[in-house]
Chains A and B, each alone.
Chain A
Amino acid sequence: MLSILNKIRKTGILTEKVGATEDEILLLGKNCQREIAASFGGSLAIRMVDAGSCNGCELEMHALNNSFYDIERFGIHFVASPRHADMLLVTGVVSRHMQEALKRTYACTPAPKLVVAMGDCATNGGEFGVSYASCGPVANVIPVDACIKGCPPTPANLLRAILEILQKKYT
């Protein structure tokens, strides 16, 4: 136990400002916190849906929760059910086998809701496109408010994009 406490003390705080344009991000974050406070009662709840990704986007989404990015400091957190969510963050092309599940998830999410397509696949079909097995980009299946490009988007870009989307939508 002592060794654990000692390690925590030695590790210190790793959370850092994001990217090269640090002040801009923090300003963006601050502004968004205001919007989140006004529109979403202080916190933005994200439900992620993998509709047919390669799991690369999921790995980078996980990274948002590590100490370096710590997305929760902006009042943004990931939730376990679409019924608790303000935003659906959808990854991958929509496989035909996930089409109905995605539509039901969308229907379960209470309005007002935001749908964000994360990554090249979700945005434009990426490496997989449209086929017998794939409906292609998310917008082919449910209405999409914004897209974040990248294969996969880096956590810094993802964080920046989420903040920008909120600012654009609610200011």
Chain B
Amino acid sequence: MTSSQLEKEPLEAPGVEAYIEASIQACSWQLRRSNLTAPADYTVPSGAAAHIAIAAAAWGDAAVIAKRCGLRWAGVWADHIPERMVLMALLAGKDGHLLLSTTVPDSKPELPSQAEIYPNANRPERHLHDMFGITFSAHPDPRPWTRHQGWKPDAYPLRKNFPVAGFPVENTPADDTYPFIKMEGEDIYEVPVGPVHAGIIEPGHFRFHTIGENMLRLEERLGYVHKGIEKIAQGRDIPGLIRLAARVSGDSSIAHSWAACQAVEHALQVEVPPRALALRAVLAERERIANHCGDIGAVCNDVGFSFAMVQFSALRERVQRLSMELFGHRLLMDCMQAGGVGRDLNADGITAILAEQRMLRTEVAELMPMILEYPSLQDRLRTTGILAHETAVNLGTLGYVARASNIDYDLRRDAPYPPYTGLEVHVPVYTEGDVAKRTRVRGDEILIATELIEKLLNTLPSGPIATAITLSGHGAAGLGLIEGWRGETLAYVRLNAAGTVERYFPRDPSWFNWLALEETIHGNIIPDFPVCNKSVNGSYAGHDL
């Protein structure tokens, strides 16, 4: 199959079923099981709408078909089960997810790349090469991604025989030989920024090519805060895993810990009590509100409008204080546990949260129009950092960044998980794709979240807040998929018979939104980069792992 087949008319209703149908109809490529037998302790992860195992040689073709069916590429990860490596890629249709898997021998882990078809597979595949030594043939970019100089190019930390301690040298040298893509021409110069940035912000490197103040190109170099999360998760018990998941990205502690809990619950077929599910959603919506408040203020502050920063950071602080009072943590860390939540809400707590929602609605409904209608602020935000719809689709962009570029997608509405299965979730979508709309989507989402919280609390089921976890007695794997405040958040967890973690992979939405940031800068000047960056707000920690 060639890419020319992509030019055929796409199927009308993109969805998982369409994919399966198209796969069967694709005469040039027979869908078939892998020639290698799956490893003995490999179990198909529960949690995706459908699962197809294919031969490794068909990995690239599968991407071609999926793209033709209009499926979004949502991540790839591997699992080393000695002698074999199982690769899994997640594809998303409008109505659910399809898990594609294949197996390669660990002595020669090679298979075709999907990055030519799906550009957002580029960095995740390079991550797999750095971590597992998997070679993707015809990959468009052979440079390392996650690995800097922290370990040798022929050592692969996520292989089972690589010790957690590794083989570190006393001083890890700077990664100063990374071959950034060059632009040549008269008056073009490079501006290197980072890893240590000017603000209170995480580390990463940005390489700009500019003419005068005009940005021609931005290339990101991430991986500075890689601290081995995937490796140190292995061997933990379930509570230890959830504690770690809450710290994959501190601003998304609920999103990642809920995804990890859901993955464990899918793997072990745990039924979470209704009250716990409702409380989880309340936590997730409060995390959304707190982060959106912080970021709306920060976006405005980046163009010198400190009024909004003062107002919205005060709202954020109020939300965080109530979180501390009711849930024991200002960032809601460690509120989740596999099987439920760790803390119940009493009547006073419910009253306090309901009052908070009324306060938020009044404040945000008053403040957003001031921001949206203030001419000198909108002069800076409108038409700045435009992400075109086609680009956003091509890069698998997620969350508010996608919705500001007219991608009408939200897991909570389109592939809902409980308790959202019983809730109507309104999704704000705009066409402009600029900083102004990315900010406006967040304002809208705060208001929508306050209504969701009210509905959840007004119909809060009674009953227990957690159910005990029973081990299945054999290995099991599961997927978790949560619409965090930043977008669709994935977790893959495989447990052994003793309930110990064999593999944990969290995929933060930032993996794809970082790519979107590189595209927002065209036609903008360097002084507007901070506001473009803030309006996207990728997580470095969630990406670098």
State how many angstroms separate the Cβ of B485 from the closest Cβ of chain A: 13
A95 near B226 with CB under 8 A, answer yes
A66 near B225 with CB under 8 A, answer no
Encoded as 1 (CB less than 8 Å from any B CB) or 0, chain A from 123 to 138 comes to 0000111111111000
B171 within 8 A of A: yes
Point out the residues of chain B lying under 8 angstroms from A8, CB to CB.
Answer: 307
B314 near A66 with CB under 8 A, answer yes
State how many angstroms separate the Cβ of A51 from the closest Cβ of chain B: 8
B47 within 8 A of A: no
Point out the residues of chain A lying under 8 angstroms from B330, CB to CB.
Answer: 60, 154
Encoded as 1 (CB less than 8 Å from any A CB) or 0, chain B from 147 to 191 comes to 011110000010000111111100111110000000000000000
A133 near B227 with CB under 8 A, answer yes
Point out the residues of chain A lying under 8 angstroms from B366, CB to CB.
Answer: 7
B310 within 8 A of A: yes
A56 near B227 with CB under 8 A, answer no
A43 within 8 A of B: no
Encoded as 1 (CB less than 8 Å from any B CB) or 0, chain A from 113 to 128 comes to 0000000000000011
Point out the residues of chain B lying under 8 angstroms from A55, CB to CB.
Answer: 202, 249-251, 539-541
Task: Indicate whether A66 sits within 8 Å of B316 (C-beta atoms), given known contacts A60-B330, A152-B250.
Answer: yes
Interface of A is mostly: mixed
Point out the residues of chain B lying under 8 angstroms from A96, CB to CB.
Answer: 148-151, 168, 172, 226
Which one of B174, B199, B317 lies within 8 Å of A66 (CB-CB)?
B317
B476 within 8 A of A: no
Point out the residues of chain A lying under 8 angstroms from B225, CB to CB.
Answer: 50, 52-53, 92, 95, 97-98
Q: Interface segment, A25-33, A34-42, A99-107, A159-167? A: A99-107
B227 near A58 with CB under 8 A, answer no
Q: Interface segment, B62-70, B240-248, B342-350? A: B240-248
Chain B interface residue bracket vs A: 35 or more
The listed residue with most B CB atoms (<10 A of its CB), out of A51, A62, A96, A105, is A96
State A49–B225 Cα separation when bound (angstroms). 12
State A75–B54 Cα separation when bound (angstroms). 63
Encoded as 1 (CB less than 8 Å from any A CB) or 0, chain B from 190 to 203 comes to 00000110111111
Task: Indicate whether A97 sits within 8 Å of B200 (C-beta atoms), given known contacts A62-B313, A63-B313, A131-B164.
Answer: no
State A66–B150 Cα separation when bound (angstroms). 37
B148 near A97 with CB under 8 A, answer yes
State how many angstroms separate the Cβ of B122 from the closest Cβ of chain A: 20
> Which residue of B has the minimal Cβ distance to A55?
B250
A4 within 8 A of B: yes
State A3–B502 Cα separation when bound (angstroms). 57
State A95–B196 Cα separation when bound (angstroms). 13
Point out the residues of chain A lying under 8 angstroms from B540, CB to CB.
Answer: 50, 55
Residues of chain A in range 50-80 having any CB-CB distance to chain B below 8 Å? 50-63, 65-68, 78, 80
A132 near B541 with CB under 8 A, answer no
Task: Indicate whether A132 sits within 8 Å of B167 (C-beta atoms), given known contacts A56-B250, A81-B198.
Answer: yes
Which one of B200, B201, B232, B248 lies within 8 Å of A131 (CB-CB)?
B232
Point out the residues of chain A lying under 8 angstroms from B173, CB to CB.
Answer: 100
B294 within 8 A of A: yes
A111 within 8 A of B: no
Residues of chain B in range 515-532 having any CB-CB distance to chain A below 8 Å? none
Encoded as 1 (CB less than 8 Å from any A CB) or 0, chain B from 240 to 272 comes to 000110011111010000000000000000000
B370 near A7 with CB under 8 A, answer yes
State how many angstroms separate the Cβ of A141 from the closest Cβ of chain B: 9
State how many angstroms separate the Cβ of A54 from the closest Cβ of chain B: 4
Residues of chain A in range 136-170 having any CB-CB distance to chain B below 8 Å? 151-152, 154
A132 near B150 with CB under 8 A, answer yes
B251 near A56 with CB under 8 A, answer yes
> Which residue of B has the minimal Cβ distance to A1?
B374
B367 within 8 A of A: yes
State A152–B166 Cα separation when bound (angstroms). 27
State how many angstroms separate the Cβ of A124 from the closest Cβ of chain B: 14
A66 near B247 with CB under 8 A, answer no
State A61–B165 Cα separation when bound (angstroms). 31
A97 near B224 with CB under 8 A, answer yes
Point out the residues of chain B lying under 8 angstroms from A66, CB to CB.
Answer: 310, 313-314, 316-317
B320 within 8 A of A: yes
State A65–B243 Cα separation when bound (angstroms). 28
A133 near B203 with CB under 8 A, answer no
Residues of chain B in range 286-324 having any CB-CB distance to chain A below 8 Å? 294, 307, 310-311, 313-314, 316-317, 320, 324
A-B contact pairs, 16 of them (CB 8 A): A7-B370, A49-B196, A50-B202, A50-B540, A51-B203, A62-B313, A63-B313, A65-B313, A67-B317, A92-B225, A96-B168, A97-B225, A98-B203, A131-B165, A131-B166, A132-B151
Taking A63-B313, A66-B310, A134-B228 as given, write out 12 further A-B residue pairs in contact, using a Cβ cutoff of 8 Å, ordered by the A residue number. A52-B227, A53-B202, A55-B540, A56-B253, A58-B201, A62-B294, A95-B227, A95-B544, A97-B148, A97-B223, A98-B203, A132-B228
